[in-house]
Amino acid sequence: MSQNLWHNKASMALTLRPIKQNRVQAELEHQRLTSLINSMADAVITVDEKAKVVIYNGAALNLLDINTIRLSSPLASLFKPIDSNNQPADIADIVLQTMLPTTSRDLRLKYADGSMINLYLSIAPVHLSYGETGQKGFVLLLRDITREKSLEEERDEFISVVSHELRTPIAISEGNISNAQFIAEKSGDINAIKQALAEAHNQVLFLADMINDLSTLSRAERGTLEVAVEAINVHNLCQELLSNYTPEATAKNLQLKLELDPKLELLYSSKLYVREILQNFITNSIKYTQKGHVVIGAKSVAKGVEFSLTDTGIGISKSDQERVFDKFFRSEDFRTHQTTGTGLGLYVTMKLTRLIHADIKLQSELNKGSTFTIFIPNLQAAEA
């Protein structure tokens, strides 16, 4: 009898040994999984077949902006994402219907303070414990892609705006050149041909300006623009700008004037960028002024020179003043759209001012004009 009992105990021990080994193995696998998840920068949440939380990491707490997650709590109680139609999405339903690994970039997450982020969501059906007979569930990986989404939208807007802005001058140029060819073949009216070619030429110049802006913008955003400091005779530079833009102002019956400090000294900065900054403001002032004058001013101040561009143009509303240096921004004022423009000029200008450590201030009132004040420091003094 005792021998049979010994055999039964031995047999039971042999039977329990693989079970114990499986439990140890399962626990080891669980610890490995937990360690791996906690080492990840992205938010990770694993749920069972009923969409209840099994494991989560610290990044999940940060992303969801909560202090703790109770194990076995329903996934839907943790967060309620918003879909692309701005409607609440049932995250548990989304997870449980997932048969194959899938990803989404269309959901958003709204926080208690009203702020919102764009979510990257990856869902993968997996075995959550050791062995084929183990517990099944899903692994969710979440990431804040708000900045990526913003860059994508900005890129799409860039392509859309540039495509539109290129299409119009190309179409006008093509039409005028075709018209000039037709006139030359039929009537030979030299004046009509000249007029058509002049309009086509203006559109080509517009395209050239746009390409220059885009090229400068590209280099500025890549950080490849270099500042070559040199001595600038401000008086001569302003006289040069007056000479260059007087014909354009005269064509609109505008006065282009200089108001220069007689005590102007040499400015040490990038002559190329200083000239381009001033040119952008001058062309804008002339473009949006229908009558009156545009004044280019310059005076010596401590550590640099203060330039100013004052016009009697249409002015800029207070709401538009906050966005006037934004990429592609053009005011909704109908008078703005009576002239061509890409909305890149002042954005590029702001990029250049930052390169040379300059500062811009704007004062404007609708229907009364605008004054842009640009302080440009001596870079040698700044470096010293």
Q: What is the per-residue pLDDT across 162-191, written as a single tens digit (0 to 9) for each? A: 676 677 678 888 888 888 888 888 888 888
* Per-residue pLDDT, 382: 46
Confidence of residue 340 (pLDDT cuts 50, 70, 90): low
187-223 confidence digits (pLDDT tens): 888 888 888 888 888 888 777 777 776 776 676 666 6
What are the residue ranges of CATH 3.30.450.20 in the chain? 2-144
Q: What is the DSSP letter of 332?
A: S
Q: Which of 34-43, 140-149, 305-314 has the lowest mean pLDDT?
A: 34-43
| pLDDT at residue 103 is higher than 70 | yes
> How confident is residue 373, by pLDDT bands cut at 50, 70 and 90?
very high
pLDDT of residue 337: 46
CA within 13 Å, CB half, 338 = 8
Instruction: Name the residue among 309, 252, 251 with its Cα closest to residue 280.
Output: 309
Task: Supply the pTM of this predicted model.
Answer: 0.50
CA angle, corner 300, sides to 263 and 213, nearest 5? 125
**What CATH topology corresponds to 2-144?**
Beta-Lactamase (3.30.450)
- Give the pLDDT of residue 161: 61
Of 319, 256, 264, 263, whose CA–CA distance to 292 is shortest? 256
CATH topology of domain 147-224: Helix Hairpins (1.10.287)
Letter string b/e over residues 342-373, b meaning 16 or more CB atoms within 10 A of that residue's CB: bbbbbbbbbbbbebbbbebeeebeeeebbbbe
CA gap 112, 118 in Å, rounded: 15
Joined together, the tokens standing for residue 349 give: 């200008």
CATH number belonging to domain 225-384: 3.30.565.10
pLDDT of 85 reads 86
The CATH 3.30.565.10 portion of the chain extends over 225-384
- Ranges for all domains in the chain classified under CATH 1.10.287.130: 147-224
